[in-house]
Structure 1
Amino acid sequence: MSKIVSPASVAAGLTEFWSPRVVASLDDSYVKVAKVHGTFGWHAHDDEDELFYILGGHLRIEMADGAVELDAGDAYVVPKGVRHNPVAENECLVMLIERKTTLHTGSEVTERTRSLADQLRPA
Structure 2
Amino acid sequence: MSDEPIDLQDALASFDEIWSPRIVTRVNDYDVRVAKVAGDHLWHVHDDTDECFLVLDGVLNIGLRDARGERTVTLRKGMVFVVPKGVEHKPSAPDGASMLVFEPSGTLSVGDRHDEVPDYVDVTVGHPLTRG
TM-score, structure 2 normalization: 0.84
Question: Offset at 1:88?
Answer: 0.2
Q: How many residues in Structure 1 have an aligned counterpart in Structure 2?
A: 122
5+ residue gaps, structure 2, are none
5+ residue gaps, structure 1, are none
Alignment pair present for 1:53 and 2:49: no
Question: Offset at 1:121?
Answer: 5.2
Q: Which residue of 1 aligns with 2:26?
A: 25
Greater C-alpha Rg? 2
Query: Among residues 72, 92, 105, which one is paired with 1:67 in the alignment?
Result: 72
Q: Which residue of 1 aligns with 2:130?
A: 122
Check whether the contact 1:11–1:94 (CA below 8 A) recurs between aligned residues: no
Q: Which residue of 1 aligns with 2:12?
A: 11
Post-superposition Cα deviations, 1:5-54, rounded to whole Å, max 9, x if no partner, equal 11233124421000000000110100000000000010011001110000
Question: Offset at 1:2?
Answer: 2.1
Instruction: Give the % identical residues.
Output: 34
- Tell me how far apart the structure 2 counterparts of residues 45 and 92 of structure 1 sit (CA, whole Å): 22
Off by >3 Å, runs of 4+ in structure 1: none
- Tell me how far apart the structure 2 counterparts of residues 82 and 50 of structure 1 sit (CA, whole Å): 10
Greater percentage in strand: 2
